[in-house]
Structure 1
Protein backbone atom coordinates (compact mmCIF):
# COMPACT_ATOMS: atom_id res chain seq x y z
CA UNK A 1 0.00 0.00 0.00
CA UNK A 2 1.20 3.43 -0.79
CA UNK A 3 -0.25 6.54 0.73
CA UNK A 4 1.97 8.96 -1.14
CA UNK A 5 0.39 11.01 -3.87
CA UNK A 6 1.90 11.73 -7.27
CA UNK A 7 3.13 15.16 -6.18
CA UNK A 8 4.86 13.75 -3.06
CA UNK A 9 2.26 14.69 -0.45
CA UNK A 10 1.55 12.03 2.15
CA UNK A 11 -1.93 11.11 3.24
CA UNK A 12 -0.94 9.96 6.71
CA UNK A 13 -4.58 9.66 7.71
CA UNK A 14 -5.08 6.79 5.24
CA UNK A 15 -3.51 4.19 7.53
CA UNK A 16 -5.70 5.26 10.45
CA UNK A 17 -8.71 5.36 8.10
CA UNK A 18 -8.06 1.78 6.92
CA UNK A 19 -7.61 0.58 10.52
CA UNK A 20 -10.88 2.20 11.55
CA UNK A 21 -12.66 0.54 8.59
CA UNK A 22 -11.23 -2.85 9.64
CA UNK A 23 -12.45 -2.28 13.21
CA UNK A 24 -15.89 -1.31 11.90
CA UNK A 25 -16.00 -4.48 9.79
CA UNK A 26 -15.01 -6.64 12.77
CA UNK A 27 -17.55 -5.01 15.08
CA UNK A 28 -20.46 -5.16 12.62
CA UNK A 29 -22.43 -7.76 10.72
CA UNK A 30 -21.07 -6.39 7.43
CA UNK A 31 -19.12 -8.80 5.23
CA UNK A 32 -17.44 -6.28 2.95
CA UNK A 33 -16.60 -2.59 2.78
CA UNK A 34 -15.35 -0.81 -0.35
CA UNK A 35 -14.30 2.83 -0.30
CA UNK A 36 -12.80 5.21 -2.86
CA UNK A 37 -11.27 8.47 -1.68
CA UNK A 38 -10.68 11.08 -4.36
CA UNK A 39 -8.01 13.61 -3.41
CA UNK A 40 -7.60 15.04 -6.88
CA UNK A 41 -7.59 14.11 -10.55
CA UNK A 42 -4.66 11.66 -10.27
CA UNK A 43 -4.63 11.16 -6.53
CA UNK A 44 -6.96 8.62 -4.93
CA UNK A 45 -7.08 5.70 -2.54
CA UNK A 46 -9.18 2.59 -3.16
CA UNK A 47 -9.76 0.22 -0.23
CA UNK A 48 -11.62 -3.10 -0.22
CA UNK A 49 -12.05 -5.04 3.03
CA UNK A 50 -13.69 -8.47 3.11
CA UNK A 51 -14.56 -10.45 6.23
CA UNK A 52 -13.73 -14.13 5.94
CA UNK A 53 -14.26 -16.31 8.97
CA UNK A 54 -13.30 -14.06 11.85
CA UNK A 55 -10.38 -12.33 10.14
CA UNK A 56 -10.34 -9.14 8.13
CA UNK A 57 -8.31 -9.06 4.91
CA UNK A 58 -7.69 -5.76 3.20
CA UNK A 59 -6.03 -4.48 0.09
CA UNK A 60 -5.45 -0.94 -1.03
CA UNK A 61 -4.55 0.34 -4.46
CA UNK A 62 -2.35 3.41 -4.89
CA UNK A 63 -3.54 6.25 -7.12
CA UNK A 64 -1.90 4.99 -10.31
CA UNK A 65 -3.19 1.42 -9.99
CA UNK A 66 -6.56 0.16 -11.14
CA UNK A 67 -9.26 -1.12 -8.79
CA UNK A 68 -8.72 -4.75 -9.91
CA UNK A 69 -5.68 -5.46 -7.66
CA UNK A 70 -7.58 -4.19 -4.62
CA UNK A 71 -10.33 -6.73 -5.22
CA UNK A 72 -8.11 -9.72 -5.98
CA UNK A 73 -8.32 -11.23 -2.45
CA UNK A 74 -12.12 -11.32 -2.57
CA UNK A 75 -12.17 -12.93 -6.01
CA UNK A 76 -9.58 -15.50 -5.02
CA UNK A 77 -11.81 -16.74 -2.20
CA UNK A 78 -14.96 -17.20 -4.32
CA UNK A 79 -14.15 -20.69 -5.72
CA UNK A 80 -13.77 -22.03 -2.17
CA UNK A 81 -17.55 -21.78 -1.74
CA UNK A 82 -18.14 -24.86 -3.87
CA UNK A 83 -16.62 -28.30 -4.19
CA UNK A 84 -13.13 -28.54 -5.63
CA UNK A 85 -13.21 -28.78 -9.41
CA UNK A 86 -11.02 -27.92 -12.38
CA UNK A 87 -13.81 -25.98 -14.10
CA UNK A 88 -15.13 -22.67 -12.88
CA UNK A 89 -18.78 -23.18 -11.82
CA UNK A 90 -19.60 -19.60 -12.86
CA UNK A 91 -18.75 -20.52 -16.48
CA UNK A 92 -21.25 -23.39 -16.63
CA UNK A 93 -24.35 -22.63 -18.74
CA UNK A 94 -26.81 -23.18 -15.85
CA UNK A 95 -24.91 -21.13 -13.27
CA UNK A 96 -26.99 -18.85 -11.07
CA UNK A 97 -24.77 -16.09 -9.72
CA UNK A 98 -25.20 -13.72 -6.82
CA UNK A 99 -26.52 -10.29 -7.81
CA UNK A 100 -24.95 -8.72 -4.71
CA UNK A 101 -22.55 -9.08 -1.81
CA UNK A 102 -24.26 -10.61 1.20
CA UNK A 103 -25.02 -13.78 3.14
CA UNK A 104 -26.67 -16.75 1.42
CA UNK A 105 -29.51 -18.59 3.12
CA UNK A 106 -30.91 -21.81 1.69
CA UNK A 107 -34.14 -21.65 3.78
CA UNK A 108 -36.54 -18.93 4.87
CA UNK A 109 -35.46 -19.28 8.52
CA UNK A 110 -33.13 -21.47 10.61
CA UNK A 111 -34.38 -25.04 10.78
CA UNK A 112 -36.92 -24.59 7.97
CA UNK A 113 -37.04 -26.76 4.86
CA UNK A 114 -34.62 -25.48 2.18
CA UNK A 115 -36.16 -23.69 -0.81
CA UNK A 116 -34.61 -26.27 -3.17
CA UNK A 117 -32.53 -29.45 -3.03
CA UNK A 118 -30.22 -31.11 -5.55
CA UNK A 119 -32.27 -33.00 -8.14
CA UNK A 120 -35.40 -30.90 -7.60
CA UNK A 121 -37.22 -29.45 -10.62
CA UNK A 122 -37.89 -25.72 -10.49
CA UNK A 123 -39.99 -23.37 -12.60
CA UNK A 124 -38.72 -20.01 -13.83
CA UNK A 125 -39.15 -17.49 -11.01
CA UNK A 126 -39.19 -20.03 -8.14
CA UNK A 127 -37.15 -18.87 -5.14
CA UNK A 128 -33.85 -20.74 -5.02
CA UNK A 129 -32.40 -19.03 -1.94
CA UNK A 130 -32.13 -15.71 -0.15
CA UNK A 131 -29.15 -13.37 -0.14
CA UNK A 132 -29.25 -10.98 2.80
CA UNK A 133 -27.64 -7.61 2.22
CA UNK A 134 -27.86 -4.75 4.73
CA UNK A 135 -30.68 -6.47 6.70
CA UNK A 136 -32.74 -6.90 3.51
CA UNK A 137 -33.72 -10.42 2.45
CA UNK A 138 -33.41 -10.65 -1.35
CA UNK A 139 -35.08 -13.69 -2.91
CA UNK A 140 -33.00 -15.18 -5.72
CA UNK A 141 -35.37 -16.50 -8.43
CA UNK A 142 -34.66 -19.32 -10.86
CA UNK A 143 -33.70 -17.64 -14.16
CA UNK A 144 -35.16 -20.58 -16.10
CA UNK A 145 -37.08 -23.80 -15.57
CA UNK A 146 -34.87 -26.80 -14.97
CA UNK A 147 -33.34 -29.14 -12.41
CA UNK A 148 -31.05 -28.11 -9.57
CA UNK A 149 -27.76 -29.92 -10.35
CA UNK A 150 -25.47 -28.43 -7.71
CA UNK A 151 -25.72 -26.09 -4.74
CA UNK A 152 -22.37 -24.30 -4.48
CA UNK A 153 -22.79 -22.39 -1.19
CA UNK A 154 -23.46 -23.39 2.39
CA UNK A 155 -26.33 -21.97 4.40
CA UNK A 156 -25.20 -18.76 6.12
CA UNK A 157 -22.05 -18.38 4.03
CA UNK A 158 -20.88 -14.99 2.71
CA UNK A 159 -21.12 -14.50 -1.06
CA UNK A 160 -19.56 -11.96 -3.39
CA UNK A 161 -21.17 -10.20 -6.33
CA UNK A 162 -21.09 -12.59 -9.32
CA UNK A 163 -20.18 -15.63 -7.21
CA UNK A 164 -21.84 -18.86 -8.46
CA UNK A 165 -24.62 -19.96 -6.07
CA UNK A 166 -26.00 -23.03 -7.81
CA UNK A 167 -26.36 -24.80 -11.14
CA UNK A 168 -29.85 -25.11 -12.67
CA UNK A 169 -29.99 -26.96 -16.00
Structure 2
Protein backbone atom coordinates (compact mmCIF):
# COMPACT_ATOMS: atom_id res chain seq x y z
CA UNK A 1 0.00 0.00 0.00
CA UNK A 2 2.91 2.35 0.75
CA UNK A 3 4.29 1.90 -2.77
CA UNK A 4 0.99 2.93 -4.38
CA UNK A 5 0.94 6.40 -2.80
CA UNK A 6 4.29 7.57 -4.25
CA UNK A 7 3.32 6.08 -7.62
CA UNK A 8 0.00 7.91 -7.53
CA UNK A 9 1.69 11.15 -6.50
CA UNK A 10 4.25 10.80 -9.31
CA UNK A 11 1.49 10.09 -11.84
CA UNK A 12 -0.48 13.16 -10.72
CA UNK A 13 2.64 15.33 -10.84
CA UNK A 14 3.51 14.19 -14.39
CA UNK A 15 -0.07 14.63 -15.52
CA UNK A 16 -0.14 18.17 -14.12
CA UNK A 17 3.17 19.05 -15.74
CA UNK A 18 2.10 17.74 -19.15
CA UNK A 19 -1.24 19.56 -18.89
CA UNK A 20 0.60 22.81 -18.17
CA UNK A 21 2.78 22.23 -21.21
CA UNK A 22 0.05 21.26 -23.67
CA UNK A 23 0.79 24.31 -25.81
CA UNK A 24 4.50 23.53 -26.03
CA UNK A 25 6.56 20.87 -27.75
CA UNK A 26 8.13 18.44 -25.30
CA UNK A 27 11.53 16.89 -26.00
CA UNK A 28 13.47 14.17 -24.25
CA UNK A 29 17.13 13.60 -25.15
CA UNK A 30 16.80 15.87 -28.20
CA UNK A 31 13.87 13.80 -29.46
CA UNK A 32 10.44 15.47 -29.69
CA UNK A 33 7.92 13.32 -27.82
CA UNK A 34 4.94 15.68 -28.06
CA UNK A 35 3.97 18.50 -30.39
CA UNK A 36 0.70 20.35 -29.82
CA UNK A 37 -1.87 20.56 -32.60
CA UNK A 38 -1.54 23.79 -34.61
CA UNK A 39 -4.18 26.50 -34.29
CA UNK A 40 -7.06 26.18 -36.74
CA UNK A 41 -6.51 28.20 -39.93
CA UNK A 42 -8.52 26.31 -42.56
CA UNK A 43 -11.23 28.91 -43.08
CA UNK A 44 -11.96 31.86 -45.34
CA UNK A 45 -13.99 34.80 -44.11
CA UNK A 46 -14.35 37.69 -46.55
CA UNK A 47 -15.22 40.43 -44.05
CA UNK A 48 -11.91 41.68 -42.66
CA UNK A 49 -13.38 42.62 -39.28
CA UNK A 50 -15.20 39.32 -38.80
CA UNK A 51 -12.02 37.51 -39.83
CA UNK A 52 -10.03 39.46 -37.24
CA UNK A 53 -12.58 38.63 -34.52
CA UNK A 54 -12.58 34.91 -35.36
CA UNK A 55 -8.79 34.84 -35.63
CA UNK A 56 -8.38 36.51 -32.21
CA UNK A 57 -10.86 34.10 -30.62
CA UNK A 58 -9.05 31.10 -32.12
CA UNK A 59 -5.77 32.44 -30.75
CA UNK A 60 -7.18 33.24 -27.29
CA UNK A 61 -8.94 29.90 -26.87
CA UNK A 62 -6.23 27.83 -28.62
CA UNK A 63 -8.77 26.38 -31.08
CA UNK A 64 -7.31 23.56 -33.20
CA UNK A 65 -10.49 22.35 -35.00
CA UNK A 66 -13.55 24.18 -36.32
CA UNK A 67 -15.86 22.27 -33.98
CA UNK A 68 -13.99 23.54 -30.92
CA UNK A 69 -15.26 27.08 -31.53
CA UNK A 70 -18.62 27.11 -29.76
CA UNK A 71 -18.81 30.70 -28.50
CA UNK A 72 -18.01 33.84 -30.45
CA UNK A 73 -18.43 37.47 -29.42
CA UNK A 74 -17.98 39.89 -32.32
CA UNK A 75 -20.16 42.73 -31.09
CA UNK A 76 -19.27 46.33 -31.98
CA UNK A 77 -16.77 45.19 -34.59
CA UNK A 78 -17.98 46.98 -37.76
CA UNK A 79 -18.90 43.68 -39.45
CA UNK A 80 -20.85 43.88 -42.71
CA UNK A 81 -20.79 40.30 -44.09
CA UNK A 82 -21.07 36.86 -42.44
CA UNK A 83 -19.87 34.89 -45.47
CA UNK A 84 -17.63 32.02 -44.34
CA UNK A 85 -18.83 31.93 -40.74
CA UNK A 86 -20.73 28.69 -41.45
CA UNK A 87 -17.38 26.84 -41.31
CA UNK A 88 -17.86 27.05 -37.53
CA UNK A 89 -20.93 24.82 -37.48
CA UNK A 90 -20.60 23.99 -33.77
CA UNK A 91 -21.30 27.54 -32.60
CA UNK A 92 -23.86 27.56 -29.79
CA UNK A 93 -23.49 31.20 -28.71
CA UNK A 94 -22.98 34.07 -31.14
CA UNK A 95 -22.99 37.79 -30.38
CA UNK A 96 -23.06 40.00 -33.47
CA UNK A 97 -24.80 42.97 -31.84
CA UNK A 98 -24.06 46.53 -32.92
CA UNK A 99 -22.59 45.87 -36.35
CA UNK A 100 -23.67 46.74 -39.91
CA UNK A 101 -25.02 43.33 -40.96
CA UNK A 102 -27.91 43.20 -43.42
CA UNK A 103 -27.77 39.63 -44.80
CA UNK A 104 -28.01 36.74 -42.30
CA UNK A 105 -28.35 33.80 -44.72
CA UNK A 106 -25.19 32.26 -43.27
CA UNK A 107 -26.79 32.07 -39.81
CA UNK A 108 -29.37 29.62 -41.10
CA UNK A 109 -26.56 27.07 -41.46
CA UNK A 110 -25.58 27.29 -37.78
CA UNK A 111 -28.23 24.91 -36.49
CA UNK A 112 -26.66 24.42 -33.06
CA UNK A 113 -27.13 28.03 -31.98
CA UNK A 114 -28.75 28.43 -28.56
CA UNK A 115 -27.96 32.11 -28.09
CA UNK A 116 -27.98 34.64 -30.93
CA UNK A 117 -27.65 38.38 -30.44
CA UNK A 118 -28.08 40.33 -33.68
CA UNK A 119 -29.60 43.48 -32.26
CA UNK A 120 -28.74 46.90 -33.66
CA UNK A 121 -27.89 45.89 -37.22
CA UNK A 122 -29.55 46.51 -40.60
CA UNK A 123 -31.29 43.15 -41.02
CA UNK A 124 -34.50 43.15 -43.04
CA UNK A 125 -35.14 39.46 -43.76
CA UNK A 126 -35.13 37.18 -40.69
CA UNK A 127 -36.18 34.05 -42.68
CA UNK A 128 -32.84 32.20 -42.14
CA UNK A 129 -33.60 32.19 -38.41
CA UNK A 130 -36.41 29.69 -39.06
CA UNK A 131 -33.70 27.01 -39.41
CA UNK A 132 -32.46 27.58 -35.85
CA UNK A 133 -34.52 25.09 -33.87
CA UNK A 134 -32.47 25.18 -30.65
CA UNK A 135 -32.64 28.89 -29.87
CA UNK A 136 -33.10 29.71 -26.22
CA UNK A 137 -32.22 33.38 -26.51
CA UNK A 138 -32.62 35.68 -29.51
CA UNK A 139 -32.29 39.45 -29.64
CA UNK A 140 -33.30 41.15 -32.91
CA UNK A 141 -34.18 44.54 -31.42
CA UNK A 142 -33.11 47.76 -33.17
CA UNK A 143 -33.35 46.35 -36.68
CA UNK A 144 -35.89 48.93 -37.87
CA UNK A 145 -36.43 47.50 -41.36
CA UNK A 146 -36.89 43.89 -40.22
CA UNK A 147 -40.02 42.13 -41.42
CA UNK A 148 -42.12 40.50 -38.69
CA UNK A 149 -43.88 37.58 -40.38
CA UNK A 150 -40.95 35.12 -40.07
CA UNK A 151 -40.23 36.26 -36.50
CA UNK A 152 -43.80 35.39 -35.53
CA UNK A 153 -43.40 32.00 -37.20
CA UNK A 154 -40.14 31.43 -35.33
CA UNK A 155 -41.83 32.24 -32.03
CA UNK A 156 -44.58 29.74 -32.83
CA UNK A 157 -42.03 27.05 -33.80
CA UNK A 158 -40.09 27.50 -30.56
CA UNK A 159 -42.97 28.11 -28.15
CA UNK A 160 -42.60 24.69 -26.45
CA UNK A 161 -39.02 25.66 -25.48
CA UNK A 162 -40.11 28.94 -23.89
CA UNK A 163 -37.16 30.89 -25.32
CA UNK A 164 -36.29 34.50 -24.51
CA UNK A 165 -37.13 36.24 -27.81
CA UNK A 166 -36.71 39.98 -28.24
CA UNK A 167 -38.13 41.43 -31.44
CA UNK A 168 -37.81 44.89 -33.02
CA UNK A 169 -40.28 47.52 -31.91
CA UNK A 170 -42.34 47.23 -35.11
CA UNK A 171 -42.88 43.51 -34.34
CA UNK A 172 -44.05 43.93 -30.77
CA UNK A 173 -47.60 42.68 -30.49
CA UNK A 174 -49.76 44.68 -28.12
TM-score range, shorter chain: under 0.3
Is the helix fraction higher in 1 or 2? 2
Higher relative contact order (CA 8 A, sep 6+): 1
Instruction: Give the TM-score normalised by the residue count of structure 1.
Output: 0.26
